[in-house]
Amino acid sequence: MPDGRRALLTLALRAQRAGGAHAELARQCVVFLLLAEMLAAAGHDGPPHRAWGPPRAQPRRPGRRSFRESLAGRRPRG
């Protein structure tokens, strides 16, 4: 851990021992710094990958037919 982050973490740990609003903010800062260190140590290469598309061998389904369209191609009665 670089000296700057170590000094900030040490300062926040000392500040959280006291009471009041500053102590609560220091606790949140400590949690944030520890979480950031864990995420940095995880070493993931990048953002999540895109979703897989449908397989190319699978034929496409025909589109939806409109409500009034005849299935057999004949004209409706009436």
What tens digit of pLDDT does each residue of 44-55 get? Answer: 776 777 777 777
For the whole model, what pTM was predicted? Answer: 0.48
Average pLDDT over residues 20-49: 83
pLDDT of residue 76: 63
**Residue 12 near residue 26 (C-beta atoms within 8 A):** yes
